[in-house]
Amino acid sequence: MIEITLTAWQMLVVKLLIILIIVPVGALVGGYVLHKEMAHMQHRLGPMYAGGWHGWAQTLADGIKFAYKEDIIPASADKRVFSLAPAVIFVPVLLLYLVIPIDRNLIVEDLDVGLFFLLAIGSVGSIGVLMAGWSSANKYALIGALRSAGQLIAYELPIVFSAAAIAMLAGTLSLVGIVEAQDWPFILWPPGLGLALFLLFLVGAMAEMALPPFDMPVAESELITGPFTEYTGMRFIFGFFFAETAHMIAFAAIGTTLFLGGYKPIVPWGPLDVIPGVLWFFVKTSFMVFLLLWIRFSFPRLREDQLQKFAWKVLIPLSLVLILVTGAWVLYGP
Amino acid sequence: MRLEAADALDRVKGALGDRVTDASLNHGQVDLTVEPDRFVEVVTILRDDIALGCRFFTFLSAVDRSTYKFDGDEHREAGSAGSQNGKGGIEVLVHLYSPDMIWHVNLHVPLDFESPVCPSITGVFKGAEWHEREAAEMFGIHFTDHPNLTTLYLSEDFEGHPMLKSFKLPARSYVKAWPGAKDPDEAAAAGGR
Amino acid sequence: MALDIDQRLEKARRPGFGIGLLKGMAVLLKHFVKRNDVIQYPEVKQDLSPRTRGVIALKEENCTVCMLCARECPDWCIYIDSHKETLPAKREGGRPRKRNVLDRFAIDYALCMYCGICVEVCPYDALFWSREFEYAEYDIRQLTHEKEKLSDWMSTVLPPIELEDGADIPGQPTKAVTAESATPSVETTAASPAASAPDTATSPAPETAKPAPGLAEEVKEQQMDSAAKPEAEPEVKRDPEGTVEEGTQAEVEAKTEAETPSTPESTAVTQTPSTPAEPAPAPTRPAPKLEDLEPAEDAYGRVLDEQTKAGSSPQVAEARAKVARVKAERALTQARAAAPTDTAPTPEPSGTPEATEPEQGSVAPPDEGTKGPND
Amino acid sequence: MTIKDPELQNLQDSSAFATEVSEGRLVTEQMLLNVGPQHPATHGVFRLLATIDGERIVRAEPIVGYMHRGYEKLVEQRDYRQITNLISRMDWLSGINNELPLALALEELMEIEVPPRAQYLRVALAEMNRILNHLMFFQSFSAELGAITPTFYAFREREDIQYAMETVTGGRMHFGFFRPGGLKEDVPRGFTAMALAAVRKVIKRLPDYEDLLTGNEIFKQRTIDIGVLDKEVAYSYGVSGPIGRGSSIDMDVRRDEPYLVYDEFDFDVCRGTHGDCFDRFWVLLHEVIESAKIVEQALAGLPPGPIMGKVPRVVEAPKGEVYIRTENPLGELGLYLVSDGGKRPYRIKIRTPSFSNVSALPHVLENTLVADMIAILGSFFFVLGDVDR
């Protein structure tokens, strides 16, 4: 067996390559799951023909189709900003995967400020959306961009507060540390508190990704895919389709790590340790993806001002209260 | 409570008296003929009078009766104004309905054929605005003090009023050559079937 | 009844607290796990009724170029060319006969609105409806089907469909069941289609017609059954008489017998055979006495099991029972109104009988959130 | 369709505008937003010219006429059978209900006696078509508010009913089945059971729709107290049907002036109380239950007998005028038929429900939000063929 010794840098490059492969494949699989789950929930079959059994290659075919499409840049658009916007949206989503622990030592870089890093990178996406909306010189895109920027900022806070509460419970910012601290997953252990934090995080994530019922910026019936109306071809794929699915899987993974105990067994019962950590992580993430999609298909859309009112008047005060309760729990609890 | 057509007619005659030139029953509905100058007044009474209570504005339209074959009339050329008894002109037709007492009234307002002018009832029923715009563009009736008497369906530069009998729809042979050996219209014109 | 509609509206308008959201999600999960009955179109084709207006077929022999269809067509989309031919006289010394020969008969399906006036108006029944609809073209000019293509469609024309029992088929006594004998009058076998139009001309004798796979609606019943299997409803096996696929002849006979008493007189009669509540529906019916009238509930129960015993489909049985109950109630209220005023309470307006209408059966208006009783 | 916007012009180029800016008051420029004619939220080719100030609509003016086919002129060149097919294309979601008033008007003028079986079947088919229409608007309203799932449930239910109607008439949308004096043909064997089964399946699944939408808090937040149309305004605009009943107008032609055999069936007229989007939608949904009840009673009591009265081969209406109205799924459809004898009508005034309902739209849309405009437009159930004729 030949012995390969890699310096730290080479290891990092290899890991990044793996991420660069996994994320698009994950996005494709995520897209396929989206089609299939939506179909069966709506009492129909979903893609059946693309690529043989149950149309497994549907999203792959879509991807290729979009790649062949002509890449149009509107004449009156601000060229550089217009072409840069999809990258500014997609790259942060990729960076999210750097710090998510798939198994005990299967992690790209275990930053000890992993959680802080996640939240910082997560909010870069809203700049990209603004760039896309403004630069495509289209009245509807502009309205869409303004709405989505307002929404992303409004729902950043609930995620930050719930993450902060988790950090307090786990006592560390490092994601591996958080997972290790969860012999009972946080969603179960502080009995009411964990679930409340999880719901807070879920609502914040849904709004962050502009999924229904928070998809005002992308509201088809009024603004026709909001800021991305003018995009076609590869830009549309990366800026919108891949980014959205990859973002969903990333948030599912973060949710699993923070609340469902990452790669640890769901309940600290002895024989469960036999199952490898990766499998746990995979099962929990797919459950989270199923949950996110399930919510996405069953609700109508909130109105723009209701959305903001819900964030500022309901979610943020609630999250502050939860922070207090977590503090009390950490200090005086068991 | 229902108001039978017969006593609805008496009530209308009682309430309106001489403002109405003719009131009769037609298929269970009250038929009134009103002069244009008393039109708005009659409509207001029909709506506001508690005993009548015609609050539901059903529609307003017009009928071009220039080629209507009245009894004892032979076939007349379209667009020829008025037959002997002045029945053959353009008339505005309004239908009101009383939802509480469930009875109908049809108002006929005969207008002069050459320059039909009729007061607008948007003051009484706000909903009449669109109906009057349509009647104006289709029949060429000018509604006085109408808030926005522009065309509703037709484009601004459309000349002529399509619903008048004088406005001829292109006959079939004009649009498409008759596919068969004998064109039944010619046959009919030549006194055939 | 109208009262509780407002209450239900009030209840619907009250703000729930998240429960409504969860119920909505529950509905989705229910459908996620339920097997769905989507037909994969290209492989599985839906079995359409012979009356489906897919395309118009021309039977050239019947056409005498009378141009009625071309004249009646609202869209002017039928093109006909013909010329006159003189035929030798049949018997010598007779006058040479002139005949119209069809040169061109085309229907431009780009203009046609499938209204069926031509099929209806054709005095010689040369035009028929066929249920094929897959004739899309890339070039709109090919949508004008010439005489040859229209004749090809003739092979796909199906014989007209059999009519419901109560239908008045000319030359057939309508199967109004007389009070005493419920024996069905002779049923025409399914083979000879008894269409309402005069018999001679309609049976198009489509020689090369693909053998109609049993009657269209019977096949569709199975197809409907397979689709409705997951439904809780018991799908009924209805065999049209004549084509006996399964079930003995006797069983089929019993079924047709049950079918016929769909007429109100017979239901009324069989409904209350014991008490002469409703003598022959003379115009002015003497109000029956109060005590010998049957309360609404037993009327419902009795008719329901009568019908199910007689084997008619559960939906029809239940519906008939419900109508019987409504009629019984009306009879009761009339009787109570006619009875001497001192004994009877002031008659209710006929719309709301005292006996509160039992909310049951699947048409009961679903109250908020809780499933219908037999869901 | 002329587009004149008095306020906008004089605001911009007048001196008033200059003084406003100089005094430092923030002058928000009003934006002219064109909704339609090609816009997913409009039911067909309908254009709304909205003057909006930020997210608030100052004035909304519907511009119609894109689908004007000139029925009232066409009708004067056609004979009565061709008109049946023309008129069934006005409100294309309720084809068979459109044909009804013409048949009734001719029967009234020619004094034809329609056999009971035809009347019962007409009621059953009309009510089934009403269920189809209402399920369609249930789907489009929820899709406009962003809920994509009800669409597929609604179409699944519609499929059964459309299949039952196709076996009878041959068509799924345009039927051309009603004739003055009765029906074109009789119903095929097994239609009764199939129609009852289809209608019952709709009723069994209605609680799902209630949970999915009416009970949903987000839906309530988007529709309660939005786009309120009060009763008096509705009366003056002639608003009828589910929209009128949503604003608690107690009008239903089937109950007030029962035509056909509606007086033999017991059904209720649901009415809203506040006249907002929620009430209109609620009335629409619960009318489906009432229609199902009617279909059940009609098909259960189906009398035997002929389905066509004594009608001459060529229908020629005697001289006279009559206004016949029926309860179309979207409101009161009325035909004022003027006939001077002969095969062709002299004039038919077609009073369509959506024309009056849409004319009340600008009144409701004043100072609402842009996002609400979509909800209000969606809750005003109208079909463009009806509006433009």
Q: What is the pLDDT of residues B150-169, one digit of tens each?
A: 888 988 888 888 888 888 87
SS3 at position D121: helix
pLDDT at D16: 58
| C touches D, CB cut-off 8 Å, minimum 3 pairs | yes
Task: Answer whether residue A26 is part of any domain.
Answer: no
What lies within 8 Å, CB to CB, of A206 at 6+ separation is A213, A214, A292, A295, A296
Higher pLDDT, C174 or C251: C174
Query: Each residue of C124-182: pLDDT tens digit?
Result: 989 999 988 888 899 988 899 998 999 998 888 888 888 887 777 766 655 543 333 33
Identity of the residue in C76, C79, C80 whose CB atom sits nearest the CB atom of B172? C76
Q: How confident is the model at residue A290 (pLDDT cuts 50, 70, 90)?
A: very high
Contacts of C113 in chain D (CB under 8 A): 85, 89, 174
* Of C330-334, D20-24, D319-323, minimum mean pLDDT range: D20-24
Ramachandran area for residue D74 (φ above 0: left; ψ -120 to 50: alpha; else beta): alpha
Chain A positions with Cβ closer than 8 Å to C = 37, 40-45, 48, 294-295, 297-299
CA distances from C85 to A137, C90, C147, C261 (A): 72, 14, 19, 57
CB contact under 8 A, C27 and A40: no
Identity of the residue in C5, C221, C362 whose CB atom sits nearest the CB atom of D204? C362
Which of A222, A224, A229, A307 to probe by mutation at the D interface, max D CB count within 10 Å?
A: A222
Number of domains comprising chain A: 1
Strands D31-35 and C97-108: unpaired
C47-56: average pLDDT: 89
CA A188 – CA A169 distance, rounded (Å): 13
* Of B99-113, C338-352, D60-74, D287-301, minimum mean pLDDT range: C338-352
With CA atoms as reference, report the closest residue to D28 among D56, D61, D60.
D56
- C234: which 2 tokens? 């018991």
Residue D37 has pLDDT above 60, yes or no: yes
Q: Which residue of D has its CA nearest to C231?
A: D201
Shortest Cα distance, chain C CAs vs residue D199, angstroms: 9
Residue C289 has pLDDT above 80, yes or no: no
Query: Each residue of A173-217: pLDDT tens digit?
Result: 888 888 888 888 888 888 888 899 999 999 999 888 878 788 777
- D241: which 2 tokens? 């049907």
A226-230: average pLDDT: 77
- D302: which 2 tokens? 């189906």
Distance of CA C139 to the CA centre of its chain: 38
pLDDT at C258: 34
| A41 vs D: CB within 8 A | yes
Question: Over the Cα atoms of chain D, what is R_g?
Answer: 23
CB contact under 8 A, C38 and A44: yes
What lies within 8 Å, CB to CB, of B74 at 6+ separation is none
Residue C346 has pLDDT above 90, yes or no: no
CA A247 – CA A126 distance, rounded (Å): 13
Higher pLDDT, C223 or A4: A4
pLDDT at C171: 64
Higher pLDDT, B32 or C3: B32
Give the CATH class of D71-384: mainly alpha
Q: State pTM to two decimals.
A: 0.79
SS3 at position D62: strand
pLDDT at D190: 87
Query: Each residue of A69-125: pLDDT tens digit?
Result: 888 888 888 888 888 888 888 888 888 888 888 888 778 888 888 899 988 988 888
Q: Which residue of B has its CA nearest to C102?
A: B180
Q: How confident is the model at residue A321 (pLDDT cuts 50, 70, 90)?
A: very high
Q: B5-189: which CATH architecture?
A: 2-Layer Sandwich (3.30)
Q: Which residue of B has its CA nearest to D352?
A: B59
Q: How confident is the model at residue B178 (pLDDT cuts 50, 70, 90)?
A: low
Contacts of A41 in chain C (CB under 8 A): 28-29, 31-32
C225-252: average pLDDT: 35
CA D192 – CA B56 distance, rounded (Å): 38
* Of A27-31, A118-122, A277-281, C1-5, minimum mean pLDDT range: C1-5
Shortest Cα distance, chain D CAs vs residue B164, angstroms: 9
CB contact under 8 A, A42 and C24: no
Task: Answer whether residue A243 is part of any domain.
Answer: yes
Strands B56-64 and B29-34: unpaired
CB contact under 8 A, D236 and B162: no
SS3 at position D188: strand
CA D118 – CA D135 distance, rounded (Å): 26
| C81 vs B: CB within 8 A | yes
pLDDT at B176: 64
Task: Answer whether residue A269 is part of any domain.
Answer: yes
| C101 vs B: CB within 8 A | no
pLDDT at A283: 92
CA A317 – CA C352 distance, rounded (Å): 53
Q: Where are the domains of chain B?
A: 5-189
Q: How confident is the model at residue C283 (pLDDT cuts 50, 70, 90)?
A: very low
Task: Answer whether residue A9 is part of any domain.
Answer: no
pLDDT at A59: 87
CA D369 – CA D359 distance, rounded (Å): 19
pLDDT at D195: 93
Tell me which residue has tokens 């786990």: A170
Residues 37-56 of chain D with CB under 8 A from chain A are 40-41, 55
DSSP letters along C269-289, please?
HHHSSSS-SS-S--SSPPPPP
Check the CA dihedral A276-A281-A284-A289 and report its sign: negative
pLDDT at B173: 59
CB contact under 8 A, D236 and B130: no
Query: Each residue of C348-374: pLDDT tens digit?
Result: 333 343 333 333 333 443 343 343 334
CB contact under 8 A, B181 and C71: no
Taking residue D66's Cβ as centre, other Cβ atoms within 10 Å add up to 17
Task: Answer whether residue A175 is part of any domain.
Answer: yes
D329 near D94, Cβ under 8 Å? Answer: yes
Percentage, residues of chain C above pLDDT 90: 6
A123-134: average pLDDT: 86
pLDDT at C196: 34
Identity of the residue in D167, D189, D196 whose CB atom sits nearest the CB atom of C240? D189
Structure letter (DSSP) for residue C124? T
CA D148 – CA A103 distance, rounded (Å): 37
CA dihedral D121, D123, D125, D130 (to 10 degrees): -170
Contacts of D191 in chain C (CB under 8 A): 164, 217
* Of A179-188, B54-63, C259-268, D276-285, minimum mean pLDDT range: C259-268
Query: Each residue of D340-370: pLDDT tens digit?
Result: 888 889 999 999 999 999 999 999 998 888 7
pLDDT at C290: 55
Residues 178-197 of chain C with CB under 8 A from chain D are 196
Structure letter (DSSP) for residue C358? P
CB pairs under 8 A between C and D: 232
Q: Which helix (H) or strand (E) holds C130?
A: strand C127-130
* Of A275-284, C230-239, C338-347, D79-88, minimum mean pLDDT range: C230-239
Query: Each residue of D299-311: pLDDT tens digit?
Result: 988 888 888 888 8
Percentage, residues of chain D above pLDDT 70: 90
Strands C55-58 and B29-34: unpaired
Contacts of D379 in chain A (CB under 8 A): none
* Of C271-280, C315-324, D270-279, D299-308, minimum mean pLDDT range: C271-280
Q: Where are the domains of chain D?
A: 6-63, 71-384
Identity of the residue in D2, D72, D338 whose CB atom sits nearest the CB atom of B163? D72
Structure letter (DSSP) for residue A238? I
Q: Which domain does A63 fall in, by range?
A: 58-332
Query: Each residue of B122-136: pLDDT tens digit?
Result: 999 999 999 999 999
pLDDT at C138: 92
Domains of chain C: 39-161+197-225 (3.30.70.3270), 261-274+286-354 (no CATH)
Structure letter (DSSP) for residue A310? I
C173 near D193, Cβ under 8 Å? Answer: no
Interface chains of chain B (3 or more CB pairs under 8 Å) = C, D
pLDDT at B67: 81
D164-177: average pLDDT: 90
Q: Which residue of D has its CA nearest to A38?
A: D149
pLDDT at C87: 80
Query: Each residue of C23-44: pLDDT tens digit?
Result: 888 888 888 888 877 888 888 8
Residue D7 has pLDDT above 60, yes or no: no
Strands D182-183 and D178-179: antiparallel
Contacts of D186 in chain C (CB under 8 A): 163-164, 167-168, 196
- A111: which 2 tokens? 């930053």
Residue A296 has pLDDT above 60, yes or no: yes
Residue B81 has pLDDT above 90, yes or no: no
D164-183: average pLDDT: 90
Contacts of D40 in chain A (CB under 8 A): 220-221, 224
Query: Each residue of C198-211: pLDDT tens digit?
Result: 333 333 333 333 33
| C231 vs D: CB within 8 A | yes
Residue D287 has pLDDT above 60, yes or no: yes
CB contact under 8 A, D236 and B55: yes
